[in-house]
Amino acid sequence: MGHPEYDRLTLEKEYHRDLAKGLKIKAPENYFLDSSHKKINYNWRSSSELIYQDWLNKLRA
């Protein structure tokens, strides 16, 4: 499921940080829209919001 707690840019920052360190890493799967690694596929937003809303509702119950 990944990291629903991440905002849109968190994983991108970590990826580019690790590349700058010279680490041999692969781009996150299904995160970038193309091979330029500049456009992000932010399709998990609604799912992450739903997870947190459900969690808050359980806390209030």
**pTM exceeding the 0.75 threshold for the entire prediction:** no
> Is the residue at 36 inside a domain?
yes
> Is the residue at 3 inside a domain?
no
pLDDT at 2: 58
> Is the residue at 28 inside a domain?
yes
Three-state SS for the chain is: CCCCCCCCCHHHHHHHHHHHCCCCCCCCCCCECCCCCCCECCCCHHHHHHHHHHHHHHHHC
> Is the residue at 20 inside a domain?
yes
Question: Residue 39: which domain range?
Answer: 9-60
> Is the residue at 24 inside a domain?
yes
> Is the residue at 17 inside a domain?
yes
pLDDT at 42: 77
Question: How many domains is the chain built from?
Answer: 1
> Is the residue at 50 inside a domain?
yes
17-59 residue pLDDT tens: 999 999 999 998 888 888 888 888 877 778 878 888 999 999 9
